[in-house]
A and B are shown apart, each in its own frame.
Chain A
Amino acid sequence: MTRAELTPTTFDHHELKRSLIEFLKTKETFRDFDYDGSAINTIVDMLVRNTVYDSFLANMLANESFIESAQIRGNVVAHAQKLSYVPRSRVSARSVVDVDIIPVNPPTGNFVIVADPGVTFVTSVGGATFTFSTTEPQSFTYNGATKKYHATDIELYQGHYLKRNFNYQGEKIVVPNDGIDISTLKVTVNDNIVSPYNRVSSITDMGASSNVFFIYESNTGEYEISFGKNVLGREPSVGSTVTLEYISNTQLHANGARSFMAGITIGGYSNIEVRAKQPAYGGMNREGIESIRFNAPRAYSNQDRALASYDYVYLITKEFPFLKSVISWGGEENKPPKYGTQFIAIIPDEGIEITRSLKNRIEAYIRSKSVGSITPKIVDPNIFDTHLEIKYIVRDRVTTTSRAVIESRIAEIVTSYSEDVLSRFGAYYNEAELSELLKGIGEVESVIINEKFSHTFNTRRGYNDRHIIDFDNKIAPRSVQILGANIVDDASNERIVDDGNGRIVYSYDKAGVHRTLNIGTVNYETGVVDFVATFMQPEPGLQVEIRVEEQNFYTRSHNIVRITSLQCSEFSKSDRV
């Protein structure tokens, strides 16, 4: 008798069936059975089908048992929960506004208007209308000089303010709203005394009587709130009222909204002026599966404290998810070193500057997570601007596409390259990469790119200051120049350039005499420009411009490079050498 073994190592049903039939044919009882359209063929089909289903189920169970391979959101979230990681909810876009209420007649007695949370404002972005709401009571004080009620620095959140009461029965409270922004959630418990409860951030600084709540995403995607059972936080008594206040938002975000109008009357007044102090920012959707899969283990290793540099980066990007790029490094890496300080540089999602209020919030947050005597300090990114001159050769001289259209396509690609690829920490300008992107335009056969890089440094009028600008790239000799400098009164033809031998030279004409002074040095290898000068032009800054030896401009630490100007023209015969 032929020896045959089952080979259930494949999920392919044809292979399984063939293997099973071959196996059965080796048995005396089944040797002469008909395996084509017969009854036993039907039974074999059923066995194969059952095997495949079992295999699929086993595979699925194995996959869903680990956070690395789970596909169902509820399971990924459940694994993340074991690591004490709460996935990010939908985040409302937010803005800060000043509001003036203009009464028709001056008030006779009521000089302060107090508005409850939930005052709405409307704005429009891209033709769609969005509602923003307040989450705190606001006081508007009457100013007799301006004849207006006035309130400043009102924080607005996109969405609607909701307040829900629950009769606590000792069970988890399910938030009946999948649009909740849990960063705006406030919980108060009324069991004869009204007490605010705070969200647990760490169990190390709380006890059995702490007024804290826990929040998790449930298997069905809703958020659940639970209390500490009088062990890890005070448990509200059964029958007490738990009040949830939060912002509920939609999937569309109003990031970039700049002008707001009052959505309702305030204190009975409808003539209301709203001035946004910054465009709306930070609106984001709920965290996706892949992001949870990536972040949860890192949150666990981080243990909610900032120790290593990547802890700072992780904690800040988790708490402020709308930031585009964050980098952090120890002060010991600085030149000269600054021990005991952890530096952080941040690029927000919208624009390149970060507002003072946001910087303060981030600094306060990260300080609460720092350990030991480390002082976190947020510094501005070190920005290098790229000035491009692009000459293109058209593939087909008889193309019907106009040069204006080709140039607008080039401009689009350059803008996209600057915003999407550059303008973040760790990204560097790569001429070959940009050139390839530009050659993706059908009509463009090739491009020639010339680039200059500049850095803007601050000056103080009349102060003899030393300026050290570290480009951190090899500088081409005779390419350094400082634009628009004024050092000597009544001088003309003022120029600050390098002489090709490592010296920074200032030259000018005065009273018919041409003078030249050495004011500093340039290290072409390291890319450091170092000079001393007393600038007389108005503040705040001047640009030092260079060309680099290589075709790329590399960045490190908190340096970032972006493209700020573009000149584009067709390659002409006069350009040929």
Chain B
Amino acid sequence: MNQRIDIDFNFVPHPLTGDLAVKTGKRVVVQTIKNVIETSFYERGFNVGFGTNVRSSLFELHTPLDKLTMADFIREAVRNFEPNLRITDIEISNENNDENTLTLMIKYTELSNPHIEQVAITLDRLR
């Protein structure tokens, strides 16, 4: 199977060629998961259902029930928009609740690779 390839969202030029840098393999998967989770509903034109509502929940109280609901949303979004991945576990922590920061520890497998990988995503308020 071809390995996954994608443009780097940071748009950093390649240091030697000056071309737009690309990402490959696991780094693409991580970027994709972050892209799905960090996009809010109605943000994507003509595809308003793309993404999750996680960013808007930064200012919630984050009770255990809220965290379960948030995890369900993330699972559903990844299942819809990145069907090659399967989420095995999601940990949501908000130790720094006063600063409206959430840390998501997501464990996943690729359909073509049963090895469990994990990615940590930190969501901060923008200002």
A238 at the interface (CB under 8 A from B): no
On whether the beta carbons of B44 and A42 are closer than 8 Å, the reply is: yes
**Residue among A13, A39, A49 with most chain B CB within 10 A:** A39
CA distance A52 to B6 in the complex (A): 24
B9 CB contacts on chain A under 8 angstroms: 39
A539 at the interface (CB under 8 A from B): no
From B29-37, B56-64, B119-127, the one touching the partner chain is: B29-37
With CB as the reference atom, state the residue of chain B lying closest to A31: B2
For chain B, the bracket of interface size reads: 20 to 34
Chain A nearest CB, measured from B106 CB (Å): 14
A37 at the interface (CB under 8 A from B): yes
A463 at the interface (CB under 8 A from B): no
A57 at the interface (CB under 8 A from B): no
CA distance A45 to B81 in the complex (A): 14
CA distance A36 to B31 in the complex (A): 12
CA distance A521 to B44 in the complex (A): 84
0 or 1 for each of B1-23: is its CB under 8 Å from A? (1 = yes)? 01111111100000000000000
On whether the beta carbons of A32 and B36 are closer than 8 Å, the reply is: no
On whether the beta carbons of B46 and A33 are closer than 8 Å, the reply is: no
0 or 1 for each of A405-422: is its CB under 8 Å from B? (1 = yes)? 000000000000000000
Chain A nearest CB, measured from B62 CB (Å): 25
B83 CB contacts on chain A under 8 angstroms: 36
B81 CB contacts on chain A under 8 angstroms: 36-37
On whether the beta carbons of A40 and B7 are closer than 8 Å, the reply is: yes
Instruction: Name A's interface SS.
Output: helix
Chain B nearest CB, measured from A160 CB (Å): 49
On whether the beta carbons of A48 and B3 are closer than 8 Å, the reply is: no
B112 at the interface (CB under 8 A from A): no
B39 CB contacts on chain A under 8 angstroms: 42
Chain A nearest CB, measured from B49 CB (Å): 13
For chain A, the bracket of interface size reads: 10 to 19
On whether the beta carbons of B31 and A39 are closer than 8 Å, the reply is: yes
With CB as the reference atom, state the residue of chain B lying closest to A53: B45
A14 CB contacts on chain B under 8 angstroms: 46
On whether the beta carbons of A32 and B4 are closer than 8 Å, the reply is: yes
CA distance A32 to B36 in the complex (A): 20
On whether the beta carbons of B46 and A40 are closer than 8 Å, the reply is: no
With CB as the reference atom, state the residue of chain B lying closest to A14: B46
Chain B nearest CB, measured from A136 CB (Å): 61
B44 CB contacts on chain A under 8 angstroms: 42, 45
On whether the beta carbons of A49 and B46 are closer than 8 Å, the reply is: yes
With CB as the reference atom, state the residue of chain B lying closest to A48: B46
On whether the beta carbons of A39 and B4 are closer than 8 Å, the reply is: no
A38 at the interface (CB under 8 A from B): yes
B96 at the interface (CB under 8 A from A): no
With CB as the reference atom, state the residue of chain B lying closest to A42: B35
B28 at the interface (CB under 8 A from A): yes
On whether the beta carbons of A37 and B32 are closer than 8 Å, the reply is: yes
With CB as the reference atom, state the residue of chain B lying closest to A40: B7
A145 CB contacts on chain B under 8 angstroms: none
**Residue among A37, A38, A40 with most chain B CB within 10 A:** A37
With CB as the reference atom, state the residue of chain A lying closest to B78: A37
With CB as the reference atom, state the residue of chain B lying closest to A16: B46
Chain A nearest CB, measured from B29 CB (Å): 9
On whether the beta carbons of B4 and A34 are closer than 8 Å, the reply is: yes
With CB as the reference atom, state the residue of chain A lying closest to B37: A37
On whether the beta carbons of B46 and A38 are closer than 8 Å, the reply is: no
B113 at the interface (CB under 8 A from A): no
A43 at the interface (CB under 8 A from B): yes
On whether the beta carbons of B47 and A34 are closer than 8 Å, the reply is: no
CA distance A34 to B39 in the complex (A): 17
**Residue among A14, A33, A38 with most chain B CB within 10 A:** A38
With CB as the reference atom, state the residue of chain A lying closest to B77: A37
B78 CB contacts on chain A under 8 angstroms: 37
B82 at the interface (CB under 8 A from A): yes
On whether the beta carbons of A32 and B82 are closer than 8 Å, the reply is: no
**Residue among A13, A32, A48, A52 with most chain B CB within 10 A:** A32
CA distance A16 to B56 in the complex (A): 31
On whether the beta carbons of A37 and B46 are closer than 8 Å, the reply is: no
With CB as the reference atom, state the residue of chain B lying closest to A12: B46
B82 CB contacts on chain A under 8 angstroms: 36-37
On whether the beta carbons of B35 and A39 are closer than 8 Å, the reply is: yes
Chain A nearest CB, measured from B98 CB (Å): 32
CA distance A33 to B4 in the complex (A): 6
On whether the beta carbons of B35 and A33 are closer than 8 Å, the reply is: no
CA distance A49 to B45 in the complex (A): 6
0 or 1 for each of B68-112: is its CB under 8 Å from A? (1 = yes)? 000000000010011110000000000000000000000000000
On whether the beta carbons of A39 and B2 are closer than 8 Å, the reply is: no
B4 CB contacts on chain A under 8 angstroms: 32, 34
A13 CB contacts on chain B under 8 angstroms: 45-46
On whether the beta carbons of B46 and A34 are closer than 8 Å, the reply is: no
CA distance A14 to B47 in the complex (A): 9
CA distance A45 to B78 in the complex (A): 18
CA distance A351 to B44 in the complex (A): 60
CA distance A37 to B5 in the complex (A): 12
CA distance A42 to B45 in the complex (A): 10
A46 CB contacts on chain B under 8 angstroms: 45
With CB as the reference atom, state the residue of chain A lying closest to B39: A42
Chain B nearest CB, measured from A291 CB (Å): 37
Partner of A45, one of B3, B8, B28, B47: B47
Chain A nearest CB, measured from B2 CB (Å): 5
CA distance A254 to B8 in the complex (A): 70
With CB as the reference atom, state the residue of chain A lying closest to B2: A32
A32 CB contacts on chain B under 8 angstroms: 2-5
B8 CB contacts on chain A under 8 angstroms: 39
CA distance A36 to B84 in the complex (A): 10
**Residue among B4, B7, B28, B31 with most chain A CB within 10 A:** B7
Top 5 nearest A-B pairs by Cβ distance? A49-B45, A13-B46, A37-B82, A37-B81, A38-B6
23 CB contacts below 8 A, A to B, read: A13-B46, A33-B6, A33-B7, A34-B5, A36-B81, A36-B83, A37-B32, A37-B35, A37-B81, A37-B82, A38-B28, A38-B35, A39-B6, A39-B8, A39-B9, A39-B32, A39-B35, A42-B35, A45-B44, A45-B45, A48-B46, A49-B45, A52-B46
Q: Which residues of A contact B (CB under 8 A)?
A: 13-14, 32-34, 36-40, 42-43, 45-46, 48-49, 52
